Amino acid sequence: MTTTDTNRDGAATTARTLTDEDVLALATRVGRKAAPHDRAHDVDATFVTEAYDAMHESGYLSLPVPVELGGRGATIRQMVLAQQELGSWSGAAGLASTMHLYLTFVQCWRLRRGAPDAEGVLSKVAHDRLVMATSGGSDWIAPTTVATEVEGGYLFDGRKVFCTQAPVADVISTCAVLGEPGPDAVVLHAGVPMSAEGVSVVATWDTLGMRGTASHDVVMERVFVPAGKIVGTRPYGSLSGPLLVAAIHFAPLAGAAYLGVAKGAFREAVRLTQGRHEPSAAAVRQIGDMRTRLRVAEWALLSAVAEIGTDPAPDHAVLETVMTAKRHAVVEARTVVDIALEVAGGPGFFRSSPLERAYRDVRGGPFHPLTPEATIEMVGRRVLAD
């Protein structure tokens, strides 16, 4: 099946409908190019540049962009499958690209609602290799960065942590509080160019795992943000507005990236077990245990995105759905990697083993908001409020 569209110059273009097999093959291709470099990036805490070179070359980072704007129109479901596959080869590449891809889906969501700037952003992703980063992990509901109103816009001042892809990002999706932090303050959301005057990256990423994501600090010192670049507002301390939309699109892809790490660990444990003359009954059982946990976790993610649909509503019922699935994915991913290390035994204890890195990388999953505990608290409060 093919579809006919027009490109930005008005010329007719023909694109074959994107299939699950297409995105999985692309993710595998990128993953195979990234995997040989993962250990070096982990040791040196350097960014996974080879993975991003492969993503740019193949168009992986623009997969969700609508066909008429130069992308392939991938669905969230398809990118959940793709990110699992990519994460199985390179956890850092899977997580780093998640931060760009979920923001791409947010722009698609905004485009469907008539946001005047969304088409331009998506076109730049497809044609100009625009890479988007986020400071959501440090901002969350109560950012410490402040906004000062000046003529024509605002000055942003503050320091953001956990800014994945900082070395290669072109723009960072961020926010700042206008007014004294508290119930009467307003949070402003905007995309800030990394090249803007007053923006700097401070190399701080020295962590237990996911070292190849280069999630350094980004410092903003009197960074001017034009009023027209403010994409939305929300009350201080509230998970609503632009942040709610972002969280909804983030959760399935983040869960998929960490589940991919677990799939890679499972693959290595199977390889090691198959190489043994006579695997123990315990090892065989553990292989089966890992396989079932992975399948159910994948079902959770795929069922969640099927439930919310291709154009999710920005409400807390949708948030509960995707965060519940993400919680299950990251918790099960951690368990699977632990089991894989037990199956491997001594060989998995060496730094040269991909299992050693997977053991550390997968620990990052529960840190992303909403954390597993915060998720079940949210669910419980919603139940009691009904």
Domain boundaries, the chain: 2-130, 134-235, 241-385
Question: Comparing 173 with 137, which gets the higher pLDDT?
Answer: 173
The answer to whether residues 133 and 151 touch, using CB atoms and an 8 Å cutoff, is no
Q: How far apart are CA 186 and CA 189, in angstroms?
A: 10
Residue 329 tokens, joined: 């994915």
Cut 0.85: pTM above it: yes
Which run of H or of E encompasses 180? Answer: none
Residue 100 tokens, joined: 């760009």
pLDDT in tens, 296-335: 999 999 999 999 999 999 999 999 999 999 999 999 999 9
One fold for both 2-130 and 134-235? no
Give the three-state DSSP class for 327.
Answer: helix
Q: How far apart are CA 65 and CA 69, in angstroms?
A: 7
The answer to whether residues 242 and 288 touch, using CB atoms and an 8 Å cutoff, is no
Q: How far apart are CA 297 and CA 231, in angstroms?
A: 34
> What integer pLDDT is reported at residue 79 of this predicted model?
98
- Candidate from 11-15, 67-71, 200-204, 321-325 with smallest mean pLDDT: 11-15
Check residue 9 and report its DSSP letter: T
pLDDT class for 15, splitting at 50, 70, 90? low
pLDDT in tens, 228-258: 999 999 999 999 999 999 999 999 999 999 9
Structural domain 241-385, CATH architecture: Up-down Bundle (1.20)
The answer to whether residues 12 and 6 touch, using CB atoms and an 8 Å cutoff, is yes
> What are the phi and psi torsion angles at 235 (to 5°)?
-70, 145
Domain 2-130, CATH homologous superfamily name and number: Acyl-CoA dehydrogenase/oxidase, N-terminal domain (1.10.540.10)
CATH of the structural domain 134-235, one choice from 2.40.110.10, 3.30.70.20, 3.30.70.580, 3.30.470.20: 2.40.110.10
Question: Where does residue 48 fall: left (phi above 0), alpha (psi -120 to 50 degrees), or beta otherwise?
Answer: beta
Question: DSSP secondary structure string, 128-177?
Answer: S---EEE-HHHHTTS---EEEEETTEEEEEEEEEEETTTTT-SEEEEEEE
Residue 161 tokens, joined: 């942590």
The answer to whether residues 220 and 168 touch, using CB atoms and an 8 Å cutoff, is no
